[in-house]
Amino acid sequence: MPYFLLRLTPPRPSFPFDATETEKALFSEHAAYWIAQAGEGRAIAVGPVFEPGNTWGLALVEAADEAAAEALGAADPVIGAQAGFAYALAPVPSLILRQP
């Protein structure tokens, strides 16, 4: 199965440092969603990326194809809530994974 990087752009550059109570609650749903995807083997790694002056979310997923990877992002509660978050998708043609 191919791999894909889902890059989550937040509604503003200062997020999550100034998250509202509504956004914090939504992010609890977001975390639960990705924990479930990891548990089912679809998500390999998920987490925030803090760059200087920029924060974004990373989801490295394994999916049958681009449409399936896009569907994983579309099903994220932060997207369904239409709260200003958006995913960009990029294929990862080759990946070296840590061996257990």
**Residue-wise pLDDT tens digits, 30-73:** 999 999 999 999 999 999 999 998 899 999 999 999 999 999 99
- Is the pTM higher than 0.85? The answer reads yes
Among 39, 26, 40, smallest CA distance to 76 is for 26
- Confidence at residue 100, expressed as pLDDT on a 0 to 100 scale: 83
**79: pLDDT confidence band, cut at 50, 70 and 90?**
very high
